[in-house]
Structure 1
């Protein structure tokens, strides 16, 4: 599919040259890489000042969209990473993000607290997606109305439907401003999955329409942290299920909160289910337990990949602790999955990378340059987030990829 790319004049840049661009427009989708408050040479503006960096990030986001003739009212989803040592109130953070958006913007949102970001002094990074019609018309959207869903901030949608896409905000186990089942990750997961089911149901969808699910959970990088909540989430999907990613965090925003889950679903505009194709290439890795998820899924013109990592078929790390070979293997897996779906690296619109690191530029550049080398310039939009650990011991990078290719035909209804 034809793509257009955005790099506004004078926009911030990395200190190293990469193939990635700030935005990609393809079909009805606009993908924007993580926007930050950097200079055009890669220096951090307003170091450690969250209140100053938030509006700068949103302003940079608006500049990327403007190059496509779009604006912030076209947003359908934001993913906001912000530095939080446990002392910041997430509702206040989301209120600051909302204050930087125009009145017409009401995207779904997921806020992710992290201990640091890629460059010292950078305290917020915001990526997201917008939608416009292929003739540049604004697209109608509908929203879930339940007050029992996350987030509590009315400026964001618990879930938003636009065209064939449904985006569900990160759901937290919170009711009446209190954490439910504090400290119990399995009970919280089941609670959150019921919230996602409700958010989907209000827009005419269900779990069978989900194409991507992301779990953000409190964990220290062990199999014992990963498996219980992974199974609790997976039990809500039939096989073959959606693409999936699970990322451990040192903490979530509320004391006792162990899980936050977000989802993407697809449904025909007339409410009918869309067919999809799943792939699991023979050469790819597996988890330590059986899960219903597949490595790759194509639905209409969208391709979703589960987070790609450097594991073997038994869930053990390949090249444990080594960033460069793990990055190459994860990127190779992405190419293999795309090929089985009739696509390639040129079809990738957005990648989001989680990697083990301590918030220094060198660790980001070690994987950023390798990731970038798999793409011919202009490349996809990109986000890179450092974390203390990832899901399995010795595994130090996980890469999500979203691609678009010519639509699969939709069968005529009888």
Structure 2
């Protein structure tokens, strides 16, 4: 089946120029762009009401998937980027999406400090793949672990108190026989006052986890959140630093994940950092016989102001590297990166196309 790019429908449109599709389907997998609570003119709906925003977005999942010939039961994972400061909202927001799906999916709840439009509290990514049932384990001392197996990979979402996250992670790796050498993608967030304590907890158990992949969030509680993907088999890994950019490419099965981040430089603006990161990405892809046409999903974390101009500026740079319609795309504003002066981190998911 050729790759499908599903455009935004008449009932909703992005509030900014969006040359990328609402959904990309490639065989048995699909990825959405960040779904926002907007109408057909791109106007924000239910400003400041995260529960209503969740219900609106959840109601659009089935129609969007139907355009790609998929049903709600195809959703394996939902990533909820939520800017509500009230931790009590999490349960209600998650419930809205579970009600909209035909079968349980792994929900990754990502608290962020703000969005780029006043009153916007939620952006949602869909991931579709054949998947096994989600395993959820409450953890001693608080927190939880959610785990799901997809073809060729295992996704682990861990939320636990900062003081215990290291031993908890080590126990989960042992329990589920997860090899640190097969880490495809790993990042996390933690409350600003506790951020520096997290790398020392993780490094002995997961040496491949880069401390710069940690980002601060406002303090809802004392929990750190880790978002980890492991390959089922051995991975081919290319890790390098070039031109002030750290690049981490992991390939396994029929997928590849490329994590690229600017390493610092307070005097370098967000647009120039984005350009440096994209140039680094282009170089490493070319060396591996890959290109931007193989990218199915792009997620950009950026630490600028709260303005839409920062979003639009780095989006314009990124879009220049793709032929339309490009990959599914999500932009996530954060307070700051772990590396001083760093403003941009981009994670790409690639599904290499058959030769010819």
Indicate whether the TM-score tops 0.5: yes
> Following the alignment from structure 2 to structure 1, what is the Cα–Cα distance between the partners of residues 276 and 122?
29
Cα shift at 1:286? 6.6
Aligned to 1:317: 265
Q: 1:232 aligned to 2:201? A: yes
SS in 1 for 2:95: helix
SS in 1 for 2:156: strand
The equivalences for 1:8-27 within 5 A come to 8-27=8-27
Cα gap change, 1:282/1:261 in structure 2, threshold over 3 Å: closer, same or farther? Answer: closer
C-alpha contact (below 8 Å) 2:170/2:205 kept by paired residues? no
Aligned to 1:136: none
Q: Could you report, residue by residue, the CA deviation over 1:243-276 in whole angstroms, capped at 9, with x for unpaired residues?
A: 887242332532x22x111211222xxxxxx232
C-alpha contact (below 8 Å) 1:213/1:245 kept by paired residues? no
Q: 1:172 aligned to 2:152? A: no
Aligned to 2:230: 265
Cα shift at 1:89? 4.3
SS in 2 for 1:364: helix
Q: How many residues align?
A: 354
SS in 2 for 1:405: coil
> Following the alignment from structure 1 to structure 2, what is the Cα–Cα distance between the partners of residues 244 and 300?
26
Aligned to 1:55: 55
The equivalences for 1:303-342 within 5 A come to 303-306=256-259, 308-311=260-263, 316-317=264-265, 319-320=267-268, 322-342=269-289
Q: Could you report, residue by residue, the CA deviation over 1:111-165 in whole angstroms, capped at 9, with x for unpaired residues?
A: 122222122221111113111xxxxxxx46244364439976xxxx921113223
TM-score normalised by structure 1 residue count: 0.76
Aligned to 1:396: 343
Q: 1:110 aligned to 2:108? A: yes
> Following the alignment from structure 2 to structure 1, what is the Cα–Cα distance between the partners of residues 328 and 212?
19
Work out which of the residue numbers 141, 158, 168 in structure 1 matches 2:132: 141
Cα gap change, 1:107/1:72 in structure 2, threshold over 3 Å: closer, same or farther? Answer: same
> Following the alignment from structure 1 to structure 2, what is the Cα–Cα distance between the partners of residues 244 and 13?
36
> Following the alignment from structure 2 to structure 1, what is the Cα–Cα distance between the partners of residues 256 and 344?
21
C-alpha contact (below 8 Å) 2:212/2:338 kept by paired residues? no
C-alpha contact (below 8 Å) 2:295/2:348 kept by paired residues? yes
Aligned to 1:271: none
Cα shift at 1:317? 2.0
Gaps of 5+ in 2: none
Aligned to 2:213: 246
C-alpha contact (below 8 Å) 1:211/1:242 kept by paired residues? no
C-alpha contact (below 8 Å) 2:295/2:327 kept by paired residues? yes
Work out which of the residue numbers 217, 231, 239 in structure 2 matches 1:280: 239
TM-score normalised by structure 2 residue count: 0.88
Cα gap change, 1:343/1:231 in structure 2, threshold over 3 Å: closer, same or farther? Answer: farther
Cα gap change, 1:113/1:213 in structure 2, threshold over 3 Å: closer, same or farther? Answer: same
Cα gap change, 1:231/1:4 in structure 2, threshold over 3 Å: closer, same or farther? Answer: farther
Aligned to 2:77: 77
C-alpha contact (below 8 Å) 1:89/1:253 kept by paired residues? no
- Please report the RMSD computed on the Cα atoms of aligned residues, expressed in angstroms: 2.9
